[in-house]
Amino acid sequence: MMNKKSAGLLLYRFHKEVTEVFLVHPGGPFWKNKDEGSWSVPKGEYEGHEDPLLTAKREFKEETGVSLNEENVFVPLSPQKQKGGKIVYVWATEGNLDASKIESNLFKMEWPPHSGKMHEFPEIDRGDWFSVEEAMGKINPAQRGFLLELVEYLKS
Helix H or strand E segment including 25: strand 18-26
Cα distances (Å, whole numbers) of residue 71 to 43, 56, 63? 20, 15, 21
Predicted confidence pLDDT, tens digits, the chain (156 residues)? 568 999 999 999 999 999 999 999 998 887 777 888 899 999 999 988 999 999 999 999 999 999 998 889 999 999 999 888 999 999 999 999 999 999 998 888 898 888 999 989 888 999 999 999 999 999 999 999 999 999 999 998
Question: CB burial class (10 A; 0-12, 13-18, 19+) of residue 83?
Answer: exposed
Q: Return the closest-CA partner of residue 9 out of 108, 98, 77, 71.
A: 77
Partners of 120 in the β-ladder: 108
Residue 91 is predicted with a pLDDT of 98
Residue 106 is predicted with a pLDDT of 86
Q: Return the closest-CA partner of residue 143 out of 77, 61, 63.
A: 77
Cα distances (Å, whole numbers) of residue 92 to 73, 147, 154? 8, 9, 10
Residue 1 is predicted with a pLDDT of 54
Domain ranges of the chain: 5-155
Out of 3.90.79.10, 3.50.50.60, 2.20.25.90, 3.30.70.270, select the CATH number for domain 5-155: 3.90.79.10
pTM: 0.92
